[in-house]
Structure 1
């Protein structure tokens, strides 16, 4: 179940980003980020109805830091894909969870699959540099910053999942992110107020890029170790390449397709390793997926 949730997130996120890119000419990347997060926060609060009365200081701190990671990760990611293609952008951003997976891995097999995924990421990056569409340096800086906040997102998502039942932590994290992005979001309100097409695109983006994937990932992190979660996310560059091709007309090159094959191989290898581990643990006792949490 945990693996299926991560795959669902990997499918949803890049297609949401491809839809969001169509908002950039009108709203800009930060305006699109703000509108998406605000809509997602409103939707999730209405659905979840979080009961925050009685929350401890630890719970509020976790939800707040989670919101900070959401605002920064998404803002810098959208600023990057406004300048560089979607596939290479996701490949470079994946350095964040790859580093986390490498740091947290405890088995030689896990480290080997991280290495395979890293080779795939490198090929995607090389393809972006030597292809017909060279990478914009500022866009690369933005996506590296996003990668750093992706690490914080994974860590805080695990902590929120451990400390706060259900999806209340996610809902309040989105509220925090929406408040942080409000200064850049206010000007966009007047632009989209009378444009149903922009509102529809923003709503689709909010559902595909926030509500569905973050709900899936929060649930997945309750079932999988962070290091396994990080490598499974290597499916995302593959789906980002597909979304870029289908929606944005960014044709995949042979080098990019080879990278996708390596990425999928790493994901399949990690998944099989988790299942074997569960079977071994079932033979000796209940399986628990340890999730190291920050102090």
Structure 2
């Protein structure tokens, strides 16, 4: 039974009452909060396995979990795909794996909060590039100021880690655009599911090498599997639920809170403290996205 078909309270002699839009939207907001928190907690839990599996091993396990979930949901029929359908799927698979690998490698070097904030520049850039008004221009300036603050020269700056996070941002932007192309060519979630399956196959030899060189502990494998469930399976299902209940712009607005959630999870769960200037940079990126989304909703 779907959530939409659950009847309301029924008293004697009365008809079922339809679920109010306000209740549906509140349920969507609660789900968005849970999805964002699950995603960041999953990344934090996955990082606990870095000393044993390394970022590559953790990402490999995450790709396997994502493939299992998406293949079960999408139920693709790849043997019926044409080349015109296959090539964006293959690109999407490559981008999907590179995005997660570069993000987790960045988390290993610069921490969860900064890595997720810089990665978030990917979807923010796609959103700002879609329009040409003064508000979005101002948002771009605010976001750029935040990035300059985060990447300013200082003795402790890890520019390799920052570069990996920016690579993840470029991959996320490409992921959005490729998903649109795949969605136009294949029905439902067949394209995304096939891309996840191909990506998992690409990481299969990687996983075998990691196991051969660094025999994993049960705890490390458990952390990696938990990262896959919390950062792939839960957000995917939650997003499907949420997008039926809240407008797409509200969804995008709430997504902007993810860098703050990442910074808080990194601080509380991993002890990764941030200077006030770094909090200011994160706030600028979040504010840029929030202002842009609010302006679109108001228009």
1:36 aligns with 2:62: yes
The equivalent residue for 1:187 is 209
The equivalent residue for 2:262 is 240
The equivalent residue for 1:161 is 183
How far does residue 43 in structure 1 lie from its aligned partner after superposition?
2.9
1:259 aligns with 2:285: no
The equivalent residue for 1:283 is none
The verdict on how the C-alpha distance between 1:275 and 1:13 changes in structure 2, with shifts beyond 3 A counting, is same
**How far apart are the structure 1 equivalents of 2:172 and 2:224?**
22
The two structures have a TM-score, normalised by structure 1, of 0.75
1:61 aligns with 2:97: no
Q: Secondary structure at the match of 1:83?
A: helix
1:71 aligns with 2:90: no
How far does residue 28 in structure 1 lie from its aligned partner after superposition?
0.8
**How far apart are the structure 2 equivalents of 1:162 and 1:6?**
26
1:26 aligns with 2:52: yes
How far does residue 113 in structure 1 lie from its aligned partner after superposition?
2.4
**How far apart are the structure 2 equivalents of 1:186 and 1:152?**
28
Bigger radius of gyration among the two: 2
Unmatched 5+ stretches in structure 1: 278-295
**How far apart are the structure 2 equivalents of 1:143 and 1:199?**
24
**How far apart are the structure 1 equivalents of 2:294 and 2:217?**
48
**How far apart are the structure 2 equivalents of 1:71 and 1:93?**
14
The two structures have a TM-score, normalised by structure 2, of 0.75
The verdict on how the C-alpha distance between 1:124 and 1:138 changes in structure 2, with shifts beyond 3 A counting, is closer
1:111 aligns with 2:111: no
Give yes or no for contact 1:170–1:214 (8 Å, CA) kept in 2. Answer: no
Provide the aligned length of Structure 1 versus Structure 2.
267
Unmatched 5+ stretches in structure 2: 1-24
Query: Of 87, 91, 113, which residue of structure 1 is paired with 2:117?
Result: 91
1:135-190 C-alpha deviation (Å, 9 max, x unpaired):
32332332233232222112112222333332222221111111222221113456
Query: Of 263, 269, 276, which residue of structure 1 is paired with 2:291?
Result: 269
Give yes or no for contact 1:41–1:175 (8 Å, CA) kept in 2. Answer: yes
The verdict on how the C-alpha distance between 1:141 and 1:254 changes in structure 2, with shifts beyond 3 A counting, is closer
The equivalent residue for 1:80 is 106
RMSD of aligned residue pairs (Cα, Å) = 3.2
The equivalent residue for 2:14 is none
The verdict on how the C-alpha distance between 1:143 and 1:11 changes in structure 2, with shifts beyond 3 A counting, is same
Give yes or no for contact 2:55–2:101 (8 Å, CA) kept in 1. Answer: yes
How far does residue 51 in structure 1 lie from its aligned partner after superposition?
3.4
1:102-152 C-alpha deviation (Å, 9 max, x unpaired):
4332322223223323333333334xx548xx2323323322332322221
**How far apart are the structure 2 equivalents of 1:8 and 1:58?**
37
How far does residue 37 in structure 1 lie from its aligned partner after superposition?
0.5
